[in-house]
Amino acid sequence: MMTGEGLSQPMSPYTSEELANTASLTAPQPNTTVCTVTGLIDADTKAILRDALAKACGDDNAHLVINLSPVTSMDSTGLYALLEARHKHDIGGGGHLAIVIDTNSEAIPELYIIGLQAAFEVHDDRAAALHVCAIASTAGVRHTMTRAGKG
């Protein structure tokens, strides 16, 4: 289980040293997992991303932030892996799923960025995505407390 405040070290690194790609999972705030992906995402490296996202989707945290800002290049297999994670991550119970990308970067083609914006909540930086997850957690707690109070 990945919970705890202030956790900043990667909890589960997924790497391919020969390709210099990584996907690491951290839990920087309660109830939130961040999957940070670096390097190239293509058919040869998609397993790194898919394995990390499968682990992230399987943890007990309601919120998932996928940080793609360090990605150097991504093809359609990366987009497919992200859409697959969206399908697997349970957002029905108040969970939140967000993507962090640099929309000015040429690492991710514009067509894929448009697809990501249609399917995910997209943020320009990690702090903004974490803030939205924290607000969603607070709103979920208030909603649960209100329902519990009504009996």
Read off the DSSP letter of residue 149. Answer: H
**More reliable by pLDDT, 130 or 148:** 130
Burial (CB count within 10 angstroms: exposed 0-12, middle 13-18, buried 19+), residue 82: buried
**CA 59 to each of CA 31, 63, 135: distance values in angstroms, whole numbers, following the listed order:** 10, 10, 20
Contact 74, 139 (CB under 8 A): no
- Provide the 3-class DSSP secondary structure of residue 95: coil
Two tokens at 36? Answer: 């940070």
Query: Per mean pLDDT, which of 11-25, 59-73, 94-108 is the most reliable?
Result: 59-73
- Provide the 3-class DSSP secondary structure of residue 33: strand
Whole-number pLDDT of residue 104: 86
Burial (CB count within 10 angstroms: exposed 0-12, middle 13-18, buried 19+), residue 144: exposed
Whole-number pLDDT of residue 21: 83
Nearest to 85 by CA among 97, 76, 95: 97
Two tokens at 46? Answer: 């998609």
When the pLDDT of each residue in the chain is averaged and rounded to a whole number, the result is: 80
Q: Is pLDDT above 70 for 106?
A: yes
Two tokens at 55? Answer: 């682990």
Angle between helices 46-58 and 76-88 (to 10 degrees): 10
Whole-number pLDDT of residue 96: 84
pTM: 0.78
Two tokens at 102? Answer: 């640099």
pLDDT 10s digits, 26-77: 999 999 999 999 999 999 999 999 999 989 888 888 899 999 999 999 999 9
Element (H, E) at 97: strand 96-100
Q: Is pLDDT above 80 for 98?
A: yes
Q: Is pLDDT above 90 for 100?
A: yes
